[in-house]
Structure 1
Amino acid sequence: MADKIVKAIAGDGYVKAIAITSTELTERARKIHNTTPLATAALGRALAAVSMLGSMLKEEAGSVTLRINGGGPLGTILTVSDSGGNVRGYLQNPDAELPLKRNGKLDVGGGVGTDGSVTISRDLGLKEPYVGSVPLVSGEIAEDVAAYFAESEQTPTVCALGVLVDVDHHVLAAGGYLIQLLPGAEEDLIDTIEQAVREAGPVTSILTNGGSAETLLERALAGLNPEILESFPMEYRCYCTRDRVTRALISMGRQELYDLAEEQGGAELTCQFCDRVYDYTKEEILGLADSARLKSRRNEAP
C-alpha cells in the first residue's frame, strides 16, 4: 500500500483530522540511516507526525521542522516536511538500543527521554520562522505532539502514531492520525474522540489487519460522521544537491576553505538526511576559496 495522507472533517464541522500511512517512507529512512528497531520506531513516528504537520500548511513553499531532544540514548531527532507532506529526517544515534518493555514493545519513550523539549518550527516564507517549544511529556512522541498543541497553541489535540518492525528489522506498518477541535466546538467532543480512540486500538494493529488511512479516521472518529475531504501521496524526499552543498562551502569564507584544502587536501561531505556523499578535490576547494575572495572584494567595493 502506497503512503498517503487523508484529511477529513467531522462533528458537524467542529473537528478536523488527518491520517497518514507511512510504511514505505519509514522503511526508506531505515535503510538510509541503518537504524536499529528502536531508532526506526522513533524516527518513523517523528516522520509521520511532521508529515501531517506539513500538510496543514497553506503556504505552498512553506515547511515544518520537528525537533525532539529528550536526553535519551537516541539523541536529537530532527524531521522536516514540505507543504505536500514529503519528509526527510535523521536522528543523532541510529544504532541506539534498549531492552524491550515488559509488554514486549520497543521502549521509544526511554530511547527519546523526557529531559528536554519538543520544538516545532514553521517556515512560512517570512523573515523569521514561527517557533514554539514545550517540555517533553513522555518521549513517546504522539503524546508530546498533542501536549505541544495544547500548551503552545491552546488547541485540544489527539495524536496517535505507530511503527511496527519485523524480526528482520524491516518496517511492517507505520502511520498515525492527528485530530483537533476547531473554535466553537463543545468541550465534550474531546471526550467522545478520546473514547473512540481507546476503542479503535493501536495504529499498527489497524494497519496490519488491512486498514488504510481512511480506516484510521473512521475508527478514531466513530460516531462523529467523518467526511473525507482529500487524499494525496507523499514520500521520503531529500532536496540536497551539489549546488546547495557548494553554496554552503562558499559561505564558510575564503580562509576556512584555504585551510581545509591545505590541511585535508579536499572534502567529503555527507547529507544528514539521505547520506548522499559529495566529494571535493583540493583543486575544487581552492577554486571555491577564490570565488569567495572575489565575492568578498565585490561586497567591499565602494
Structure 2
Amino acid sequence: MSDYIVRATAADNSIRAFAITSKELVEKARQAHQTSPIMTAALGRLLSGGAMMGTMMKGEKDLLTLQIQCRGPAKGLVVTADSHGNVKGYANNPVVDLPPNAQGKLNVGGALDLGVLSVIKDMGLKEPYVGQCQLQTGEIAEDLTYYFATSEQIPSAVGLGVLVDKDCSVLQAGGFIIQLMPFTSEEVIEKLEKRISEIDSVTQMLEKGMTPEDILEHILGEFGLEINDTIPAQFHCDCSKERISRALSTISKKDLDDIINDGEEIEIKCQFCNRAYKFSIDELKEIRKQ
C-alpha cells in the first residue's frame, strides 16, 4: 500500500504513537481542488492530522471533523475522517499566494492567521462532542498540539509536513502524533522532550526515504517501540447522486419550482471532492414530487 498509518506504543504503554505517509491522498486532494502550493500544504497537513486522529476513534461508524475558521486569506478548512483511514477535505479558498515566511518556507500561518480550530466527534450519541481552541500559529501541527493539551488534557507532540514540487504536485506528505498517558514517568517525559527537540522536520525525514515505522523508531526507539497495526489511508469521498438528490429534496418547493421554471438542467458540485452531478428538469420534477 502507498499511503498508510501505523499505530504504536512505547515505554510500557505509557506512550502511544501514530505516524502517516500521505503523499498520494494529499496529491489527490490537490488535483480535486486545484490548490495553490500554500493551500496544498495547509490542506495536506490537516488531512494527514485528521486521518491519524480518525484512527484514534473506536467505533466502526465514528466520524471526526476538523474545522478551521480563520480571518486569513485561506478563509478556513474542513477535513472529515473515519476510523478506517478514509479522509476528505477542502479549503474555502483553494488559491492563496503569499511571500515565503521568515524561514523561507510556504507561509501557511500567514494564510490562516488568527482563528479557531474545532474538533467534532460524531460517535453515534445524541450530540456530537465538540472541542475548540484558538489557533496558536496557524501552522496546524502546533495548533493540534495545543488542542490536545487544552481540550483533551493529553500532552502530545504533533509533527506534520507537506513538500510541494516546482510543478505544484506533492513530493512528500506525512506526519506523526505522540501522546503521553497519565502514568508516564517524569524520566520518560524528560527524555522524550529532549529527543523531539533534536529530530529533523517531517519533510526532511520523508525526503531521506523514512517510512512511518522509521520515523517512530527514530523518535521512540530507545523507549522500546512496539508497532501494533497498520491501516491503509486514502482520500475518499462518499458523495453520490442519490445523496445530492436527498439534499435537493430538503429545499423549499418554491425554490425548486424556480429552478424548474428556468428550464435548464443544473449542476451541483460536492464540496469535498469537486465531483459534479447534473440534474435534468425531469429529475428535478421527480424530486419535487417526493
Shift of 1:265: 3.2
Query: Partner letter of residue 44 of structure 1?
Result: G
**Structure 2 unaligned spans of 5+:** none
Query: Partner letter of residue 161 of structure 1?
Result: L
Shift of 1:202: 0.5
Query: Partner letter of residue 153 of structure 1?
Result: E
Over the aligned positions, Cα root-mean-square deviation in angstroms equals: 1.3
- Counterpart of 2:234? 235
Contact 1:254–1:290, Cα closer than 8 Å, also in 2? no
- Counterpart of 2:103? 103
- Counterpart of 2:278? 279
Query: Partner letter of residue 256 of structure 2?
Result: L
Shift of 1:257: 1.2
Task: Indicate how the Cα distance of structure 1 residues 187 and 259 shifts in structure 2: closer, same or farther if over 3 A, else same.
Answer: farther
Aligned equivalents of 1:130, 1:77: Cα separation in 2: 19
- Counterpart of 2:120? 121
Shift of 1:290: 1.5
- Counterpart of 1:168? 167
The structure with more radius of gyration: 1
- Following superposition of structure 1 onto structure 2, how do residues 133-152 of structure 1 map, counting pairs within 5 Å? 133-152=132-151
- Counterpart of 1:226? 225
- Counterpart of 2:75? 75
Shift of 1:70: 2.4
Aligned equivalents of 1:63, 1:288: Cα separation in 2: 29
Contact 1:196–1:222, Cα closer than 8 Å, also in 2? no
- Residue by residue, what CA displacement relative to the aligned partner does 1:80-111 show, whole Å, maximum 9, x if unpaired? 10111211000011111110123321111111
Contact 1:18–1:179, Cα closer than 8 Å, also in 2? yes
Aligned equivalents of 1:190, 1:58: Cα separation in 2: 26
Shift of 1:188: 4.5
Q: Are 1:251 and 2:250 matched, yes or no? A: yes
Aligned equivalents of 2:180, 2:143: Cα separation in 1: 17
What is the SS of the residue equivalent to 1:257? Answer: helix
Larger mean CA deviation between 211-220 and 101-110 belongs to 101-110
Aligned equivalents of 2:56, 2:231: Cα separation in 1: 13
Aligned equivalents of 2:272, 2:250: Cα separation in 1: 20
What is the SS of the residue equivalent to 2:98? Answer: coil
- Counterpart of 2:152? 153
TM-score (norm 2): 0.96
What is the SS of the residue equivalent to 1:13? Answer: coil
- Counterpart of 2:190? 191
Contact 1:253–1:289, Cα closer than 8 Å, also in 2? no
Aligned equivalents of 2:187, 2:120: Cα separation in 1: 30
- Counterpart of 1:17? 17
Contact 1:196–1:219, Cα closer than 8 Å, also in 2? no
Larger mean CA deviation between 47-56 and 181-190 belongs to 181-190
- Counterpart of 1:299? none
Aligned equivalents of 1:132, 1:263: Cα separation in 2: 44
Query: Partner letter of residue 128 of structure 1?
Result: E
Structure of greater relative contact order (alpha carbons < 8 Å, 6+ residues apart): 2
- Counterpart of 2:130? 131
- Residue by residue, what CA displacement relative to the aligned partner does 1:102-160 show, whole Å, maximum 9, x if unpaired? 332111111111x2111100111122211111111110000100100110111101100
Larger mean CA deviation between 254-263 and 230-239 belongs to 254-263
Q: Are 1:62 and 2:62 matched, yes or no? A: yes
Aligned equivalents of 2:68, 2:238: Cα separation in 1: 22
Contact 2:85–2:231, Cα closer than 8 Å, also in 1? no
- Counterpart of 1:44? 44
Contact 1:156–1:190, Cα closer than 8 Å, also in 2? no
- Counterpart of 2:29? 29
Percent identity, aligned pairs only, is 43
Shift of 1:187: 3.9
Query: Partner letter of residue 84 of structure 2?
Result: G
Aligned equivalents of 1:95, 1:33: Cα separation in 2: 9
Aligned equivalents of 1:143, 1:103: Cα separation in 2: 16
TM-score (norm 1): 0.93
Query: Partner letter of residue 255 of structure 1?
Result: K
Contact 1:86–1:236, Cα closer than 8 Å, also in 2? yes
- Following superposition of structure 1 onto structure 2, how do residues 281-296 of structure 1 map, counting pairs within 5 Å? 281-291=280-290
